[in-house]
Amino acid sequence: MKRFSLFLLVVFFTTLLVSSVDAADRRGWPTLALTAGGYDIEGFDLRSEPLVGIHLGYEFNPGKHREHFALELVGQQISGEDQSSGVELDVSLLRVDALYFFPPIKTFLNMTPFLTVGGGGRFTESGDQSDSEVVVCYGAGFKLPVTTALALRVEGRQLLVFSDPKQEDYSYTVGLQWTFGKAEAIKKNAIFTTDTDKDGIFDNVDQCPNTPAGLKVNARGCPVDPPDSDGDSVPDYLDLCPDTVTGEDVTKDGCLPDSDQDGVPDIYDKCPNNPPGFEVNSDGCMKINH
């Protein structure tokens, strides 16, 4: 139990460290999983509390639709009583696991299956006696995404315990895994792989992000010699007044200036300083109701 408590402290402070680092720029992401389940010890009829565990890991080069690897530092604890002898047992498992993740299965809610192998020690305390044995394990499981960073995790393992005599234990657990920095990385990197206006220039360098389809663009994503039907230097795709007389000064929207915003352009407005909100005639002057 003391070994497991020490392990929890190490994991706690390590988790604080890795979670404070920007994982978005790395070639992988740190993970933390909390699990609970059952544990069968060969040779014991164990009535016990759940097997609880903590997994601190790192996924290398995790891709959305490809296989990848992970390493985990694992600590698990279980306490119980052997019903045949009445002996109280406290069992701690400390080990390092390697995991191989297969590509997600889209037809099963993007479930990600994995295989795992690992090794470490099993530490047993019974009364005044304590034993430690070398453990090698292998197993399989799957992750089921809940959110971008959170996943449900289910797994089972066979543990080969090199004691005298040799034992074969089994564990089966379910839990939640949090991936640090994954949501932020996806959001940050999206602009590097997204081309909203489909002009061949990614959004992160596109200075004209709403170019209509079919126009030739330069390296900045802006149209090259776009059509300008009325010759007012405002391209047709931006021109809100496409029939402006050639040679007239226009606004950035391609329309004639209208200083008092009464709907009559300045060049035709005989009353250019009307206060806002009044109805005007075609000359831009206020209508007089008789």
Model confidence pLDDT, tens digit, residues 156-195: 999 999 987 788 999 999 999 998 876 566 555 555 567 7
Q: Tell me, what's the pLDDT at 285?
A: 80
* 194-202 average pLDDT score: 76
User: At which residue do the structure tokens 């019974």 appear?
Assistant: 126
- How do the domains of the chain map onto residue ranges? 2-189, 193-225, 227-285
Model confidence pLDDT, tens digit, residues 206-240: 788 878 887 888 878 888 888 877 777 788 888 77
- pLDDT of 1 strictly over 50: yes
Q: Tell me, what's the pLDDT at 106?
A: 84
- Say which CATH topology domain 2-189 has: Porin (2.40.160)
* 277-282 average pLDDT score: 73
Q: Tell me, what's the pLDDT at 160?
A: 95
Give the Cα separation of 39 and 171 in Å (integer): 4
Model confidence pLDDT, tens digit, residues 25-47: 457 789 999 999 999 888 777 78
Model confidence pLDDT, tens digit, residues 83-93: 777 788 889 99
Average pLDDT value for the chain: 80
Residue that wins the pLDDT comparison between 264 and 97:
97
Structure confidence at residue 14 as a pLDDT band (50, 70, 90): low
pTM of the model: 0.60
- pLDDT of 24 strictly over 50: no
Q: Tell me, what's the pLDDT at 22?
A: 47
Model confidence pLDDT, tens digit, residues 61-76: 765 557 789 999 999 9
